[in-house]
A and B are shown apart, each in its own frame.
Chain A
């Protein structure tokens, strides 16, 4: 806990202490660090950006109002992902469940068409590589490869062992590399 000497940036534990005292700047900084991935995680589970925004807002308001009761027994980010995950799963229990394969990856309308095609081919390769996996494991791999979570974070949030996740990531990366080589052999060398 404290300020990282190398960067003089307050760590998450220190930010939580300041948030408990009503420090809005600390709250904003914590959001700068984690809000986009909170949205990504919620969207990964619910398949909806609008619902993901609502879930992320609810999660961060809980951080704001409960910061004083927070105990640093785990990383702040892990605690936050847990809140987001539970809210997302609650939502999915109330809504009609959608199989993971039916949730399309969001499309960026401003993306270069060639890159979009390549990305779509990779998404299909990833689907094929993860086909047949339990949903929790498949989500963990996508969190790492697509949403930028660390292996430890994804494993903690989805309660998958890090060892199991690592071997799944190896499998997924190899499938993706093979797909990329098939798609654009001229660029591979």
Chain B
């Protein structure tokens, strides 16, 4: 069980923590409010501390114009546009696709150059009559004449 806060302890706390009880540790603030409810001396101490605080405290600077300037500058940086106009990450998808396309092209050129894949129009089809007929049709030749 703790002893009730005294006027002297309250005065010390005012010097340490200032007159705004909202910023005090909760337990001390509760004890202080209990003291203030019963002690006129404590209320005078608090009023003096608040008056001192008000006199020393510099009024908050007027920043309305500055706020408007910052908002305009922020808008000019285009953060919103950047985030909404580019809804995907191009590199993630384009890079593998470009690589696959290039690889296919190289394999095709190499296969054609090395003869791995023959030209269907010039490759000999043997005695297969169906193959000869298809070759003639695709080449535009006519064996009927």
B67, A24: Cβ atoms closer than 8 Å: no
Write the chain A residue with the least CB distance to B14.
Answer: A173
Write the chain A residue with the least CB distance to B59.
Answer: A108
Contact with B along A44-81 (1 / 0, CB 8 A): 00000100110011001100110000000000000000
Residue B129 at the A interface, CB < 8 A?
no
Chain A residues whose C-beta falls within 8 Å of the C-beta of B66 in the assembled complex: 35, 39, 53, 56-57
Smallest beta-carbon distance B113→chain A, Å: 50
CA distance A35 to B38 in the complex (A): 40
CA distance A81 to B56 in the complex (A): 22
Task: Give the contacting residue for B55; candidates A61, A174, A180; CB below 8 A.
Answer: A180
A65, B56: Cβ atoms closer than 8 Å: no
Chain B residues whose C-beta falls within 8 Å of the C-beta of A151 in the assembled complex: 17, 23
Residue B91 at the A interface, CB < 8 A?
no
Q: Which residues of A contact B (CB under 8 A)?
A: 21-22, 24, 27-28, 31-32, 35-37, 39-40, 43, 49, 52-53, 56-57, 60-61, 64-65, 105-106, 108, 115, 118-119, 122, 126, 144-148, 150-151, 166, 169-170, 173-174, 176-177, 180, 188
Chain A residues whose C-beta falls within 8 Å of the C-beta of B73 in the assembled complex: 57, 61
CA distance A36 to B66 in the complex (A): 10
Smallest beta-carbon distance B76→chain A, Å: 10
Instruction: Knowing A61-B77, A180-B52, say if A31 contacts B61 (CB, 8 Å).
Output: no
Offer 7 A-B interface pairs, CB within 8 angstroms, sorted by A.
A27-B71, A27-B74, A35-B70, A36-B60, A43-B61, A57-B66, A118-B55
Contact with A along B4-28 (1 / 0, CB 8 A): 0000000000111110000100000
B80, A24: Cβ atoms closer than 8 Å: yes
Q: Which residues of B contact A (CB under 8 A)?
A: 14-18, 23, 48-49, 51-53, 55-63, 66-67, 69-71, 73-75, 77, 79-80, 83-84
B55, A65: Cβ atoms closer than 8 Å: no
Write the chain A residue with the least CB distance to B73.
Answer: A61
CA distance A171 to B77 in the complex (A): 47
CA distance A141 to B26 in the complex (A): 23
Interface centre among B55, B56, B83, by most A CB within 10 Å? Answer: B56
Instruction: Knowing A27-B71, A27-B74, A56-B66, say if A65 contacts B79 (CB, 8 Å).
Output: yes
Chain A residues whose C-beta falls within 8 Å of the C-beta of B16 in the assembled complex: 166, 169-170
CA distance A28 to B63 in the complex (A): 12
Closest 7 CB pairs of A and B: A22-B80, A36-B60, A170-B15, A64-B74, A35-B63, A173-B15, A39-B61
B70, A147: Cβ atoms closer than 8 Å: no
Chain B residues whose C-beta falls within 8 Å of the C-beta of A105 in the assembled complex: 58
Chain A residues whose C-beta falls within 8 Å of the C-beta of B56 in the assembled complex: 119, 122, 126, 145-146, 176
Chain A residues whose C-beta falls within 8 Å of the C-beta of B51 in the assembled complex: 180
CA distance A27 to B75 in the complex (A): 11
